[in-house]
Amino acid sequence: MDKTIELLLNHKSIRKYTDQQVSQETIDIIISSAQMAPTSSHFQAYTIIEVKDLKKRRLLADWAGGQKWVESAPLVLLFCGDLFRAEKYYEDIDKDALTNTESYTVATIDAALAAQKAFIAGQALGLGGVCVGGIRNEVEKISEEFGLPDLVFPLFLLCLGYPDQDPGLKPRLPQEIVHKIDFYDDRKDQELMEAYNKTVSDYYDKRTDGKEKDRWTERCGKYLSEKPRYNVGEHFRKIRLLKK
């Protein structure tokens, strides 16, 4: 199998790292790879902030719900959607267009694609990592702590380091559920979902030595109920990202 395909098919979230530091050369390659991601209309509507300051890391770990790997990871990158640069430098534009849903979507997708390229580059260089979206619990505090101007919004962290664990592969949805042909055909989805629920329950049962047996639908429903994050939209409107 091609090494790139093998890497993609063996993605794992790594939260424990060795003491080996990530060289500046490796960081430069990761950032350069991120910059080569697809970007809508060449806008490149994102900013990546490398978080070195331990105080800031501790704050991020706490705001993300106690995710300690934010402190321990050798490399932590904060990905932000960025429309401030557009407002400041684009020529002859209708600036109201920067506060519509389309521009927000463009910036969010640009940042996500760049992060995925960075992640894959890191993995190809022997690193492992995890994305941390929990920081959106406190988007306003993060914006203040990192001095983000209006129209720049924090989305997630990418934590990277040399792996000190092998958590195994987490089962994904059956391909037939996510891959449709010509139209949204969900006639088999109920049956497939029941089988997937059992697969996920068995996975957590084995991974936690019987302490957890959540089904996928149960686990996702619980997370959505516990973390609706209505504050995200409120803050985005405050920084003029979305119209009221």
What average pLDDT does the chain have?
Answer: 96
Statement: residue 111 has pLDDT above 80:
yes
Q: Which domains does the chain have, with CATH numbers?
A: 3-167+228-238 (3.40.109.10), 170-213 (no CATH)
How far is residue 66's CA from residue 133's CA, in Å, rounded to a whole number? 12
Query: Given this model, what pLDDT does residue 242 score?
Result: 83
| pLDDT per residue as tens digits for the range 164-202 | 999 989 999 999 999 999 999 999 999 999 999 999 999
**What secondary structure, in 3-state letters, does 29-65 show?**
HHHHHHHCCCCHHHCCCEEEEECCCHHHHHHHHHHCC
**What secondary structure, in 3-state letters, does 117-185 show?**
HHHHHHHHCCCEEEEECHHHHHHHHHHHHCCCCCCEEEEEEEEEECECCCCCCCCCCCHHHHCCCCCCC
Of 113 and 244, the structure prediction assigns the larger pLDDT to 113
Statement: residue 244 has pLDDT above 80:
no
Statement: residue 1 has pLDDT above 80:
no
Query: Given this model, what pLDDT does residue 243 score?
Result: 78
